[in-house]
Structure formats: structure tokens, C-alpha cells
Amino acid sequence: MLDLMSQRWEGRSLLAQLPSDVRECLVSRARTRIFPRGATICLQGESARALKIVTRGWVKLYRISETGQEALLETLCAGQSFDEIASLMGGECPSSAETLCECEIMFIDLATACSCKNAVAEITKAVMAAASDHMLDMMDQIEALKSRSGVERLSEYLVALSEDTDGTHEFMLPYDKVVLAAKLGMKPESLSRAFARLKSVGVKSELKRVVIQDVTKLKSMLTENALS
């Protein structure tokens, strides 16, 4: 499943957008670091310095509100990058980043970007494509938070993890249910209730294991608005 999610990003990843000479040059100057689970990669407001690419594992982007509450903005898997514009323009990290499991992160310092012909123009184009993808993802998220119920958001998430699967699908969630609840904008107890409601349409879950009896049926219930 991890691989499936990574594949979704492979073609769209920032490095994939670059011509091979620029990519190789950047990678040769990048530094890679392994972080244990629960480690802070960067904090909101600090200088972004490097562009970050998740090369293994799962990372959460989050913010702490003035009143001390954490809001999970996004979870990123291998292939996805963050802080692109801030690192290119010398800005601040717009959010904090923490590992959800052991992770490998590649740091690319764009300020000292390589001097290959057209490197800056190519990197700028790739950064803009990545920013555009982030914006689309955030629009998807705002749309889901505003127009769909918790049960629908959970079903949509499970269907996305079952892409290209028909019939029965059994898999592990990539992170625990507390993180999943935060990602979907639900309280943990609401997520439990949502999973309970999905039992009647053939979705079972125990800890991180999920079984969908009939993915096609769940998909069609979603598009028919039958889960709201």
C-alpha cells in the first residue's frame, strides 16, 4: 500500500519534473537524513533554507494554533516534497513537519542551486508545478471539509487507498487512527463512529487493518451520495 501511494506521486514529484542533468546535479549536492518516528523536521516560522523531499516514510505537516491546538494540514508519502516556494524565495516554513514513522528526508539547498544551463529556470518551473499540486490538494481538502460528512470523507480516503481494486481489498492504514482522524478533520471518537457505520456496507477495521468487502459498491455509494 505504501508503494501504491508512492507510485501515485512518482511521476508528479518535483525531481521527476526536472531534466536529468539538473536533477542529477541537485541530488549530488543534496544531503539525506534519517529521522526516527515522532521527530521534528522543521518548525513553522523558521527559515526554510532547504527544499525537503520525503524519500521514505510518512510525514505530517501541521500547525499549532494560538490556543495551543494542533491542526494536521497534510500527510506526505515518499516522492512528495514541501517548503518548495519558501526555499526558492528565501522565506519561512509555512508549517511544521514531523515524522509519522522512521523517515528518510532529502534536503536540497536551492540558494546554492547548481550552475547547469537553465538550472534556475527549470527548478523554478518544477517548484511552481509542485506548488500548483499542493494548491489542488488543499482545494480538494477544503471542498471535502465543507461539503462532505465525516463518513463520506473516510469512505473517500479508503477508496483512494484501494485505487484500481475491484471486489475485496484488505490493507493496512499507513498510520494510526489518531493521525487519520486529524487528517480527515474528525475527532478520534467520530472516526470510530464512522468506521462503525461503514460496517453495514461491508467495511471492517481492527487497529490499522482494513477490509473492504466490495470496493466497487463503496465507490458507487460515494458517487450516489448514499453515505451522507
Residues forming the site for its own copies (CB under 8 A): 63, 65-67, 69-73, 85-86, 88-89, 91, 94-95, 124-125, 127-129, 131-132, 134-136, 138-139, 141-143, 145-148, 182, 185, 223-225
Nearer to its own copies, 34 or 111 (CB): 111
Alpha carbon distance 28, 215 (integer Å): 43
Nearer to its own copies, 57 or 150 (CB): 150
Closest distance of CB 227 from its own copies, Å = 10
For residue 204, which phi and psi values (nearest 5 degrees)? -115, 145
Closest distance of CB 84 from its own copies, Å = 9
C-alpha cell at 71: 491542526
Q: Which of 11, 31, 43 is nearest to 105 (CA)?
A: 31
**Cβ-based neighbours of 21, under 8 Å, separated by 6 or more:** 116
Closest distance of CB 34 from its own copies, Å = 27
Closest distance of CB 59 from its own copies, Å = 15
Closest distance of CB 4 from its own copies, Å = 22
Nearer to its own copies, 34 or 43 (CB): 43
Name residue 132's amino acid.
Answer: S
Nearer to its own copies, 78 or 181 (CB): 181
The percent helix, strand, coil of the chain (3-state, each to 5) is: 45, 25, 30
Nearer to its own copies, 157 or 171 (CB): 157
Nearer to its own copies, 34 or 139 (CB): 139
Query: Which residues sit opposite 106 in a β-bridge?
Result: 32, 53
- The residue assigned the cell 463512529 is 193
Helices (H), 76-214: 84-89, 119-147, 150-161, 177-183, 188-198
- The residue assigned the cell 477495521 is 205
Closest distance of CB 36 from its own copies, Å = 26
Name residue 30's amino acid.
Answer: A
